[in-house]
Structure formats: structure tokens, C-alpha cells
Structure 1
Amino acid sequence: MRHTLPLAPQFYVTAPQPCPYLEGRMERKLFTALQGDNAEQLNDTLSKQGFRRSQNVLYRPSCADCSACLSARIDISRFAPSRSQRRVLKRNARLRRRVAAPWATEDQYALFRDYLDSRHATGGMADMDVFEFAAMIEETPIRSRIIEYTEPADDAGHPYGGLSAVCLTDVLDDGLSMVYSFFDPSLARDSLGTHVVLDHIALAREMGLPYVYLGYWVPGSPKMGYKARFSGLEVYHRGSWTRLDAPERFAADTHPLAVPPIAEQVARITLPDSRPVRRDG
């Protein structure tokens, strides 16, 4: 029997679970499948509306009584590195960038495990095995790349030295989306996380793309505070992209009536061909 995809994406809502960013709060996500011939166009369109990709799923926070998580991107035309960011670039000038198709390797997984064990030992990804890691890297229906940052060639003549940082990156029609990055925790003093963002800004400029998408900025979360240090930052707030000129203005409103109902949130989503969306669950 032949099966066809629905005419419009169907949106679902996850069950509430403890928030990984703000203690004492519960998170919930609105999500849809990313599949079919229209996958890249759907990803481009929904990314501009605060959605993020995880393998074959697009999701956006849709918590019942909190709106703290704000999708963030850097407007390349307004970005200028700070003095400390210029020091980071100088400190890591030895690293070599290598861009490849999204294919997982043992070296990547070893670095990933070191990173999680050091930085996020109790996080939601702490138990991820090598097969789940490979799925995270390789299961993508769109134009994705794995970007490695390595030490220069060693004395033995190997093409490159050790692996220092890795980023899974999606190429959108208007920018680069940093899906997930990790780095050698023993090199914490080199600020590799900041370096990877700065290099993505340089890469986007080389490609003529106007934005670098960073994921979510969460006011009040120490894990996400670093994103506000990049000039040119914008957040998707109340249906539009807004400059983050004064971070204190975006303190999360936690009153239950401040969050629109799911049906209203879905009705406001614009699809590539402007069809109405369907909601299930």
C-alpha cells in the first residue's frame, strides 16, 4: 500500500519535564518531523521563527508558564569582536579548520565523551552511546557539515594533530546554524567554545551569509550567558527578531497567562507555501 505525507506538517507537544537551564521550572517543546522533498525549505523557514533542528525533528520551546528560552543569532553586519574575543582568536590561531560531510568518527566520540564527562555529566546527553552519537551527527535530511578544529601537523608527518573542537553545522539559506559543538575540556583556558563561534562568523562572511544561529539564549541561565557577549546578537522575541542591546530587558515572564495557548502558537507559524498547519496531541 502506498503512503503519502500529509499536505502540511503536523505539530506535536512533548510532555513536561524538568528544565535543564532554570532550576524549579518545567520545559515543554513544540515539534514537527523534518522529512520529504521539502525538508530544506521547511528547515530554512522555521529556523527564522525560532525553531532548531535535532536529527529529523524541528522543535521550539513551548512551556506552559515560562518564555525564558529565546532563539539567538548573530547579525554578521553588526558584529565586531571585543578585545577579549580578539585575544581568543590570537590564542587559537594555530588551529586548522576542516569541513566535511556529517560522518561520525571514533576520535569525535572520544572527544564528545570527555566533554560531557567534564561539563555535562548529569545532562540529558550524559548516557549517549556511540550509536546515538553517530545518529546525532549523520541523521540529517538537509545540508549539514561537520567542522573539526585540529592542531597543526605533528613532527611525524601526520596531516593534522589532535582534535580540539567539533561543531555540527547546518547551512541555511540565510546563515549557518550551530546545531551542537563540543571541545577538549583540558583546553578550557583557550576558550574554544568562543573560538568556534568566532570562526563560524568568519566562515559565514566567506560564504556571503548574513547570520550565525547559536541556539537558545536563556536569561538567568549561567550555561547560556556567554551568548550575550557577542555583538550583533538578536533574539526571536514575541514573533520577531529583536536586537539584544540591553539583556536585562528580556527577563523571563513566568505568569501562566503570558504564554499563548498551543493552538494560537501553531496558528502563527508560517510555512514555506503559507499553508495552515495541523496540530496533533
Structure 2
Amino acid sequence: MHAPRNIPLIFYATPPDHCPYLEGREMTTVFADPHGPMDVERYGRLLDAGFRRSGHHVYRHQCRGCDACVPIRVPAAAFCPDRSQRRAWRRNADLQTVVREAAFDGEHFALYTRYVNQRHRGGGMDRPTPEGYWGFISSRWCETWLVEFRLQGRLVGVAVTDRLPQGLSAVYTFFDPELERRGPGTHAILWQLQEARRLGLPWVYLGYWNPLTPKMAYKVRFQPAQGLVDGLWQRVGPG
């Protein structure tokens, strides 16, 4: 489904609020009118301008006096895993991967609930509802995959992935917290990079990189990463 091209998008900004990433700072979010025209082509252009999606909502951090959150992407063809990433890939070689179209699944929701209740306890994401979960990961205008990772048939991870004209976008990944030492989050990104290369898609978008918080700093390890800095995509991180 394509949005009418002659209808412009309207953007709004939220009032400054507590930043969930950096203590003592405030966050302002710019977002597209959720009732306005949107399709995968428009979203792809917004993704290249530093926007992301949460459910149907397309947003970008635009905080006064702070530019710590940097949109980041990785060129699939040029990506070269480091030693730690190669180990993570080998540790998870026994996982079976199944790509499914987006549809609510109770098994997925149960795993998501375990994940957020342990990893994000007290952060606002715990105690999810089926409606809240599905509203967070689904989109009515984007082609979304639910990439399952299974260990001897048991669901141990799901990578919510959008396919766009210019690449894959890693929306969210959740996994069995008991298997964290395997590096399932790293494995999911490595799979997305491999799949993008197989499909001939140039980029994998990893959301926001913030070097000041461990929850987001790891993304720059996928080299050669590019960040959107001062309106231009440029190399970021080591190397």
C-alpha cells in the first residue's frame, strides 16, 4: 500500500521529558503525525534521515543541547566480524532460524514477557499486555518479519525486522534471558547482516547508538559502522 504522494507529512514535537538513557538530561522527540500518510518508501527516506518506528509511530530524538543518540547503520557487503562476533556466531551454530510474516503469536509474547520482566524491570516495559506488545512491534504499512531462533525446537529468540527498499531495519530483539552468555542479540544482528547481503540490500539499520550508555554503546562494534552526524552519514567508531 502506497501513501498519496501529494499529501505532505506533518511533524510534532513532545515537551522535554526525563531521558531514559542519561541521568539528569531531558529528551525531546519529533514524530510524524500517526494519522498522516505513510508507506514503506516514505519510511525508508525518513530512516535515512535518522527516524525510527515504534509500532505505527515514526520518531526521532531531537534534544536541546544533546546529540548523544546517533542513528547508526552498517553496510552489509563491507561488514567484517571481529573475534568476539565470530565466537558468538559459532556458539549459536546449533540454532534453527525461521522467518515468519508479522502476526501475533502467544509463544512469542510469552518469551517477550520473560525478557522485559527480567531485563527492563521497573523501566516501564515490564508487565506487558498482548495489546501493548503487538502495538509496539507491528506496523500496518511496513513489511515486517518475525525471525525465530529455536534450540532443539524451543523458541529462544525473536528478531523483529523490517524490510525496506534500501536494507533491513532491526526493530527489536528479545530472547531467553537464561541464554544471555551465548550472545543471542549479537547473533540476531549477524543474521540480519548475512541476510541483507544475501538479498543484495545495502544496509542494516541498528537504531540509535549512544556511546555514553552500555545499553546502546555496543552497536558501534559492527564495523564499518556509519552514523548520521550533522546531517551526514559518516564512519563512526574504531578503525
What's the TM-score, normalizing by structure 1? Answer: 0.79
Q: Deviations over 1:79-116 (max 9, x none)?
A: 11111111111110111111111112111111111111
1:270 matched residue in structure 2: none
Per mean C-alpha deviation after superposition, the further-off stretch among 37-46 and 54-63 is: 37-46
1:168 to 2:192 alignment:
no
Residue of structure 1 in register with 2:171 after alignment: 179
Residues of 1 paired with 2:101 and 2:77: CA distance? Answer: 28
- Mapped to 2, the partners of 1:189 and 1:47 lie a distance apart of 31
**Whole-Å separation in 2 of the counterparts to 1:105 and 1:19:** 32
Alignment of 1:190-205 (within 5 A): 190-205=182-197
Indicate the residue corresponding to 1:227 in structure 2.
219
Change (3 A) 1:5 1:173: closer
Is residue 12 from structure 1 mapped to residue 19 from structure 2 by the alignment? Answer: no
Which shows bigger deviation, 27-36 or 200-209?
A: 27-36
Aligned 8 A contact 1:147 1:167 in 2: yes
Q: Which has the higher contact order (CA 8 A, sep 6+)?
A: 1
Number of aligned pairs?
236
What is the CA–CA distance in structure 2 between the aligned matches of 1:114 and 1:76, rounded to whole Å?
A: 31
* C-alpha distance 32-240 of structure 1, shift in aligned 2 (>3 A): same
State the match for 2:27 in structure 1.
27
- Equivalent position of 2:59 in the other structure: 59
CA distance in 1, matches of 2:184, 2:140: 25
Deviation string 1:196-232 (CA, Å, 9 cap, x unpaired) is: 0001111111111111100100121111111121111
Query: Is 1:71–1:217's contact at 8 Å kept on the other side of the alignment?
Result: yes
1:237 to 218, 229, 239: 229
Once residues 202 and 54 of structure 2 are traced to their aligned partners in structure 1, the CA distance between those partners, rounded to angstroms, is 23
User: Which residue is 2:203 aligned to?
Assistant: 211
Deviation at 1:6, TM superposition (A): 8.0
What secondary structure sits across from 1:78 in the alignment?
Answer: coil
CA distance, structure 2, for counterparts of residue 11 and residue 37 of structure 1: 12
Structure 2 distance, partners of 1:116, 1:138, is 17
Q: Structure 1 residues 246, 91: CA separation in 2 closer, same or farther (over 3 Å shift)? A: closer
- Superposition RMSD on alpha carbons, in Å? 1.9
Question: 1:122-201 residue pairs with structure 2 within 5 A?
Answer: 122-152=122-152, 161-201=153-193
- Read off the aligned partner of 1:151 and give its amino acid letter: L
What SS does the aligned partner of 1:220 have? coil
Matched, 1:89 2:89: yes
> Which residue of structure 1 lines up, in the alignment, with residue 106 of structure 2?
106
Structure 1 distance, partners of 2:35, 2:198, is 29
Q: Is the 8 A contact 1:103 1:137 kept in 2?
A: no
Residues in 1 aligned to 2:51 and 2:148: alpha-carbon distance in whole angstroms: 25
Give SS of 1:77's match.
coil
Higher mean alpha-carbon deviation, 51-60 vs 185-194, is at 51-60
Work out the CA distance in 2 between the residues paired with 1:19 and 1:6. Answer: 36
TM-score by length of 2: 0.93
- Which has the higher Rg, Structure 1 or Structure 2? 1
Which SS does the other structure have where 2:77 is aligned?
helix
Of all paired residues, the percent bearing the same amino acid is 39
Gap runs ≥5 in structure 1: 153-160, 248-281
Contact 2:137/2:172, CA 8 A, preserved across alignment: no
